[in-house]
Structure 1
């Protein structure tokens, strides 16, 4: 293998969650390749390890099937430019951090040209679009997966695979400190706290905020002592949240908005109303009761609701293989239904204790040194490629 100073490693993360995953991996990889050039497309977590983003992460971030249409030309142009750049550069490895719609197509072309490719994390072919395994076989030299059951799926398909654990399981303590989180937010330690997490993307906020805040209003009518907290991903999201609340006529609902601090807001909560996605897994790792809800553009929903293979969409329920917590989707996610489901989560003390144990077991199953495990797998791919040269 060439010295690390002569190597380049290309990485693409298209969303905040991918930046988190890739940041962990690059942290482990930097120790192995101290002089290597890390570049591609990524965010602040990756930048902490000397990564240089050739395009802003925000140029790729989009949600939904139809929402991508007006952005397609720009995103496709970036993909084409990056492909030509990497074919000329020939990095030691290309790592696609999630974002399969963009990365798998790029990986297929790079792998065909002899550039080894690693995909981190495995696309959820167990949930929908299982036919993508054919493309994955052509595109991916090595797959890194974050859920234990995924390893066998890719192994059966003939795709080299390593289970590396979920980075969130390392970041979140096994026994979160609720009292400390409340002190940090300036909340009384004996307060009744509900955290609202309608999403970090603008599209998620557009479709979820009115229902989430409407549910908060109904809950406050049941229990005037309830405190509501909503972490904001940035100033743009904060302003849009407030705009949507005003449009819905819900300005009278008192909600503490925090700048980031999503983990603190979850740790402080008695229960969480959360949009489906990685955030629901974070709530589970904090051992909190929750209601999972999600709304999206109607056209996207009509297509996607027929494409799933499983009865669950929330990661805690998928991992448990049962409805551990309620899921209310699209039209079912009305303020009234969300408030009723949240009230049951707040009131069911024995159920809350059972959830703590189930979520603790789930936490242990996902706990690995993901930075070291993923970096070791990438180093094996680089070594195998250099041996063949």
Structure 2
């Protein structure tokens, strides 16, 4: 008979994408070992899986070197609280989901106190600051990776690593149903739909949404029957976007929705988005896209010196070629974005969809179950 002793799982997800990954792992973990207590920091998806969240996940959603510095005192207070909590209430395993600048120092302290630690989503040591691999090794018993190109660097340094694939690739079918997505949003089949994804963080939305709306106004001049749809990651982002729409008063009609972002992307003819996990999801939804990002001038200067890959959009990194346009800094203006969107509509869609499907297949590894099994193996390693 399987061991049914209760398991205490500590988990911290720092942002929306990590919340999805963490929730998938926990759901599979509970199916394999039903008696689990989940404590840490998570958003809506982890809360649905029963996490007792110590603070609101939005407290950790900070990106960019200058932005992190600005919020550092608050982040340090939360980090100390998390370390103290798990030191006083030791879990069977601590799982940090992404957010390495927050999670790895927590994991290092807990590992030093005899608590097993897992980091889910490899830090981008393959892209910049390869030397971080030594800090990862010191902080973790196991790294769970979501991309197939990460394995060699972990093998190079003999750091325990397991590629599990990406939960989004498992949850989105290879062939998506646009008609059903449009019906769900009450959008006609003959409309031209542009999905705008300005980001899941407040600062991203404040930076990217105005230029995206200006782009949509230009785009409207070139396509008939335009519908613009925007997903909101949570209630706070919904209110922020509503306030910006009221302030900016775009000429295009906007459908702001709390439906999952993938529903809006599947319904779309094209997607304009802020770089991040959304670009991966748009690829899995098989949609032409334009990927954009703007950061502080200082962050950009530093990244220019340190960043190694030729691309920053995930579809391009995975394919090792420019599958989709990616625009940075001063390139991110309405005229340029509109031009690239129109260009994407005119390209050979069959070739693009074939490339998307190949990347999709490579990421389909039953990630939630693979990750959960790896965590259980680690927990039970000393009990065999």
Instruction: Tell me the TM-score normalized by structure 2.
Output: 0.95
C-alpha separation in 2, matches of 1:374 and 1:383: 14
- Give SS of 1:55's match: coil
C-alpha separation in 2, matches of 1:239 and 1:55: 20
Give 1:279 deviation, angstroms: 0.2
In the other structure, the counterpart of 1:363 is 360
Give 1:258 deviation, angstroms: 1.4
In the other structure, the counterpart of 2:129 is 129
Bigger mean CA offset, 199-208 vs 239-248? 239-248
C-alpha separation in 1, matches of 2:81 and 2:4: 25
Matches within 5 A, 1:20-31: 20-31=20-31
Query: Kindly tell me: are residues 155 and 338 of structure 1, through their superposed partners in 2, closer, same or farther at Cα, counting changes over 3 Å?
Result: same
C-alpha separation in 1, matches of 2:296 and 2:239: 21
Give 1:355 deviation, angstroms: 0.8
C-alpha separation in 1, matches of 2:43 and 2:240: 22
Give 1:346 deviation, angstroms: 1.5
Q: What residue ranges of structure 1 are gaps of 5+ in the alignment?
A: none
C-alpha separation in 2, matches of 1:269 and 1:193: 5
In the other structure, the counterpart of 1:255 is 254
- Give SS of 2:194's match: strand
Structure 1 segments (4+ residues) deviating >6 Å: none
Give 1:225 deviation, angstroms: 2.5
Preserved CA contact (<8 Å) 2:192 2:224: no
C-alpha separation in 1, matches of 2:356 and 2:156: 29
In the other structure, the counterpart of 1:7 is 7
Preserved CA contact (<8 Å) 2:217 2:250: no
Give 1:286 deviation, angstroms: 0.8
C-alpha separation in 2, matches of 1:315 and 1:80: 33
Preserved CA contact (<8 Å) 2:16 2:200: no
Matches within 5 A, 1:156-195: 156-195=156-195
In the other structure, the counterpart of 1:149 is 149
Preserved CA contact (<8 Å) 2:92 2:116: yes
- Give SS of 2:220's match: helix
In the other structure, the counterpart of 1:375 is 372
State the number of aligned residues.
Answer: 383
Preserved CA contact (<8 Å) 1:209 1:245: no
C-alpha separation in 1, matches of 2:351 and 2:383: 51
C-alpha separation in 1, matches of 2:180 and 2:135: 47
Q: What residue ranges of structure 2 are gaps of 5+ in the alignment?
A: none
C-alpha separation in 1, matches of 2:226 and 2:335: 17
Preserved CA contact (<8 Å) 2:228 2:254: yes
C-alpha separation in 1, matches of 2:259 and 2:329: 26
- Give SS of 2:125's match: coil
Instruction: Tell me the TM-score normalized by structure 1.
Output: 0.94
Q: Deviations over 1:149-176 (max 9, x none)?
A: 2122212211111111100001111110
Preserved CA contact (<8 Å) 2:213 2:250: no
Bigger mean CA offset, 76-85 vs 10-19? 76-85
Matches within 5 A, 1:7-156: 7-156=7-156
Preserved CA contact (<8 Å) 2:272 2:291: yes
Query: Kindly tell me: are residues 298 and 182 of structure 1, through their superposed partners in 2, closer, same or farther at Cα, counting changes over 3 Å?
Result: same
- Give SS of 1:174's match: coil
In the other structure, the counterpart of 1:234 is 234
- Give SS of 1:238's match: helix
Give 1:353 deviation, angstroms: 1.5
C-alpha separation in 1, matches of 2:134 and 2:296: 29
C-alpha separation in 2, matches of 1:297 and 1:152: 32
C-alpha separation in 2, matches of 1:61 and 1:362: 28
